[in-house]
Chain A
Amino acid sequence: MVKETIVKKSRKGSSNTGEHIFTMLNTVFLILLCMITIYPLFYIIVYSLNEGLDSMKGGLYLWPREFTLFNYQYVFGNGVIKHSYLVTIGRTILGTLTGLIITGVTAYGFSLKSLPYRKGLMMIALIPMLFNGGIIPYYIQLSRLHLVDSFWVYIIPCMFSVWNMFVMMKFFMGLPEEMRESAHIDGAGEVRIFVQIIIPLSKPVIAAIGLFIAVWHWNDWYSGSFYVSNANLLPLQTYLQRLFNANSLSMLTQNSQIVAEAAAHESQTATMTITSVKMAAVVIGTLPILCVYPFIQKYFVKGMLIGSVKG
């Protein structure tokens, strides 16, 4: 008996030190992970705030050495970038609105469990998740619909996402059935129930899905790169993608007038390098998301969780 308690105690003791070591290592590991996550983002900001020629010397780690805002001035003074910024903002707003409407409306239609033929319709919605025609037939279809080289290619094909519809549908199904029924008895039509009862109750899921769609639009470079050739319609991320392989400042602007202007400011341009200007452009393209992230984070997580419940 006594022996047993001793054994137990000592085992507990050793596991306690083991636990302590584990906790410590775990904490250190997670702190390191956070640093690895943050540092690259921090670094591009530092780089963009440092004078280009100085950055080339290396040794730039934590703080700008030769602080300058000129890289940003250059980027903001550039008509092409400004324009692509507008395209991105436009498609993000319009794309999010239309996406929410179409996806939400469809989700509400599907949320009635007793709807006849629901299973069959659901199959139609699910099959494209498993099998698709691939990019070339898709492109041919886009060009048949005259969407290629049009602003609408960013909006119309992306209005509906089966995955997002699922998340919203699950949320709607979780709302108390009685409300819908009593509204029905009061003579309200489906559309009115949806607009006046369901939507106000669904703010969390609308926020979550809306943000998912908005971030997707903000970050999408792909449609701009492959479906659009008109330089006036390029969104910011596509512009950044084109810029990635540029190795001279004139490629950056695609505009001889701006190059001429830059040449006139030779004195300032001399201390500027393509890399630091690129970094400034990248920061401008990412900063909006990083700035709003802390405030909207909980909605994202909520959206993920609603979607992850199996069933």
Chain B
Amino acid sequence: MKQFIKNIKKFKWHYIMILCGIACLIFFSYIPMTGLQIAFRNFKPGNTVWNAKWVGLKNFWFLQDLEFWRIVKNTFVLTGARFLISFPAPIVLALLINEVKNTYFKRIVQSITYIPHFISWIVIAYILDSFLSPYGGIINQLIEKFGGTSVFFMGSNSWFVPIVTISSVWKDVGWGTIIYLAAITSIDPELYEAAMLDGAGRWAKMKHITFPSIRPTIVLLLILSMPNLINAGIDSIYPLMNNANLEVSTVLDTYVLINGLQLGKYSLATAIGMISSIVSLLLILLTNKIANKVSGEGLW
């Protein structure tokens, strides 16, 4: 105890500084965690999270609701498709950019492909709307030119997932290459020279040197991207939702938001949110464990 007080005194400024950040976390992360108990209470406006009536597992009735499982399916279809395309895309692009010899061209490609990362999802929704509009949108004009009939993309159930996937790739493929390109440039050039002497071509070098060297980075980003499998992201989904595509565009995130903040079913929404938080945590822990087992490249 004496030691404790001595330590605190000696480093008091460091602790005070750290406390600035920790205080923010307490107010905006930890106290909300205690709010999870309203998943087991009947929370009404005017209650605090501590004095609402306990109702046990009553709020979890949604687990027997077919509607809920349809939304779970929507979520995984969307995040799965998006993951399958937008996770490998930056890796491939980084490998391709790395093959460019002309540094000038390389830099231009990088600068341009980073731009969409800074465009908000709202603006992307506008761009999509103007491109895909059945009234004079570019895509439909091209379709009509080639003899097709125009499609109302934004209001179509079958196009929702491809639209979200393509726009996610458009937005972040370039930005995602930064980390991989950094990992590639840190590879020892002697490895390539040695491989060249052994007669290795471009493909062999990529397969036996570049790819294994960036594998730890890939694993790291893989683990970190796991929560995205359950959190579809309100930021990207909500702006594209409309009455016509509601059947496929309702995912767990938007369902929680609409039920909780817009319809006022706080306890139900918290219960759903809690389940998805837990699943997201399990996904990270599980992937980390697998990564450790397979290649010892886990995060911790």
Contact = CB atoms under 8 A, between A and B. Distances in A.
A196 B81 CA distance: 50
Contact of A102 (B24, B49, B182, B277): B24
Contact of A40 (B30, B131, B175, B199): B131
Interface string B117-160: 01111110111011101011110010000000000000000000
Contact of B108 (A18, A34, A133, A301): A34
Interface stretch (A25-33, A200-208, A254-262): A25-33
A159 B24 contact: yes
Contacts of A127: 29
Interface string A17-58: 011001100110110011011101101100100000001111
Contact of B127 (A44, A116, A144, A191): A44
B36 A133 contact: yes
A15 interface: yes
A130 interface: yes
Nearest to A285: B123
Interface stretch (A65-73, A74-82, A106-114): A106-114
Interface string B84-115: 00000000010011011100010011011111
A19 B202 contact: yes
B25 A124 contact: yes
Interface string A282-311: 100110011001100100110011001010
Contacts of B28: 138, 141, 157
B242 interface: yes
Given A140-B49, A240-B126, A125 B22 contact: yes
A196 B191 CA distance: 44
B21 A61 contact: no
B49 to A, nearest CB: 6
A37 B116 CA distance: 7
B100 A109 contact: no
A2 interface: no
A286 B170 contact: no
Contacts of B280: 131
B182 to A, nearest CB: 5
B239 interface: yes
Contacts of B113: 33-34, 37
A305 B127 CA distance: 30
A136 interface: yes
Contacts of B49: 137, 140
A237 B256 CA distance: 22
- Indicate the member of A40, A145, A289 with the most B CB atoms within 10 Å: A40
Contacts of B270: 134, 136-137
A141 B116 contact: no
B281 to A, nearest CB: 5
A297 B93 CA distance: 19
Contact of A44 (B48, B118, B130, B242): B130
Interface in B177-196: 178-179, 182-183
A245 interface: yes
A57 B138 CA distance: 11
A275 B125 contact: no
A286 B123 contact: yes
B115 to A, nearest CB: 6
Interface in B1-46: 7, 11, 13-22, 24-25, 27-36, 38, 43
Interface residues of A, number: 97
A191 B13 contact: yes
Given A37-B170, A141-B35, A135 B29 contact: no
B32 A165 contact: no
B109 A137 contact: no
B80 interface: no
Contacts of B131: 40, 43
Interface in A205-227: 215, 218-222, 226
Contacts of A215: 118
Given A22-B202, A56-B136, A125-B22, A244 B126 contact: yes
A174 interface: no
A185 interface: no
A266 interface: no
A170 interface: no
Nearest to B133: A275
Contacts of B109: 30, 33-34
Contacts of A112: 11, 14
Interface in B244-300: 256-257, 260-261, 266, 269-270, 273-274, 276-277, 280-281, 284
Contacts of B118: 215, 219, 289-290, 293
B220 interface: yes
A285 B120 CA distance: 9
Contacts of A27: 100, 105
Contacts of A137: 32-36, 38, 49, 270, 273
Nearest to B137: A58
A244 B14 contact: no
A297 B111 contact: yes
B178 A190 contact: no
The 10 closest A-B pairs by CB, nearest first: A137-B35, A106-B21, A134-B273, A109-B17, A133-B32, A219-B120, A190-B13, A58-B136, A160-B24, A109-B18
12 contacts: A60-B136, A61-B138, A115-B11, A125-B25, A134-B36, A136-B35, A136-B38, A137-B34, A140-B49, A141-B27, A308-B183, A310-B220
